[in-house]
Amino acid sequence: MLRRSTPSFADATDRSVEVELRLVADVGGTNVRFALADLAGSTPRIYACESFPCAAFEFFEDAVEHFLSRTETRPDSAVIAVAGPIENGEARLTNGRWKFSEAAIVQHGFASAKLINDYVALAMSMEYLTDRDVGTIGPTKTVDHGITVGIVGAGTGLGVAAVVRQGDSAVVAATEGGHMAFAPADEAEIEILRLLTERFGRVSLERVLSGPGLCNLRWALGQMSDVDVDPLPPNEIVRRAMARNDALCVDALNRFCGIYGHAAGDIALTFGARGGMYLGGGIAPRLFDWLCASDFRRRFEAKGRLSGYVADIPTQVILHPYAALLGAANIRIEQHSHVAARLSAGGLGRR
């Protein structure tokens, strides 16, 4: 099991004695999640967790003020996990219109602020997740969780990261791996790639593994069947597939899960993630049962001469709805460049 050094979600949202408060946020392309983190004690605790659609606010700072207006206190510091690259304390959402800067956040009444990649925050949460915060796809594996683990997550976009370990040292590797090229694995996917190349030019993995990517898969499969399809949002594609009343939606969701497994296996090979591959993002928890019944695990392991290597790697879905906020609560603002410190000290526990 992963080490239970902090309360799980049910317990962590109980308010404790306030000593020092932090605002933590997880900003995606569709939703922004907030919580207050109580930094008293050896392990911060989060409470007052809420989620809002990004489209409801013109600026990120408006969303911050809306959330804080619903609480009875104002935190001293802020750590904001952003779905996009960060340079010199500034960021912009890859799949959204909001811009961010640490300076602007401080001007809204905080003593300090830090922007971090959202998958850094997710990686920093790993040692605090319990077995009820994750679900296993495929057979249960017993491995050494003191070695490298990978994280991939489809949502509005596609995030990729890893906790890379060597001996007693560890570092969180934040990447833009969701923008690596899509690698087809069969004739159908070669045709999907051809169609999407005509439409977009370069086809990144995110073009097929994300909410919009599911829509792209449905469109391409329709083209391959000479069917003109009306656009549907991702949630409606999933709803129809699960109701089994739309064959094209079923095909699109099955193809999505297969590509997800294929990509996760490739990422496990890239990082040498023998300690496990974890699925974050908003889609995998909703599709957990479908993923378990799909080709995900078969294609995860289908790596030719390296199939035996990945066969021993567990695949898990992060079910905790605010895992990135747990990670953001545990970032040390003044020593963010040394994010490995906490991981090296305690490390991922055993599952």
57 — pLDDT class (breaks 50, 70, 90): very high
The pLDDT value given to residue 143: 57
109 — pLDDT class (breaks 50, 70, 90): confident
Domains by residue range for the chain, with CATH: 9-126 (3.30.420.40), 130-319 (3.40.367.20)
The pLDDT value given to residue 341: 38
The pLDDT mean for the chain works out to: 87
What sign does the CA torsion over 314, 125, 10, 64 have? negative
Provide mean pLDDT across the span 115-120.
92
The pLDDT value given to residue 8: 39
The half-sphere exposure of 283 on its side-chain side, counting CA atoms within 13 A, is 27
Give the span between the Cα atoms of 207 and 210, in whole angstroms: 7
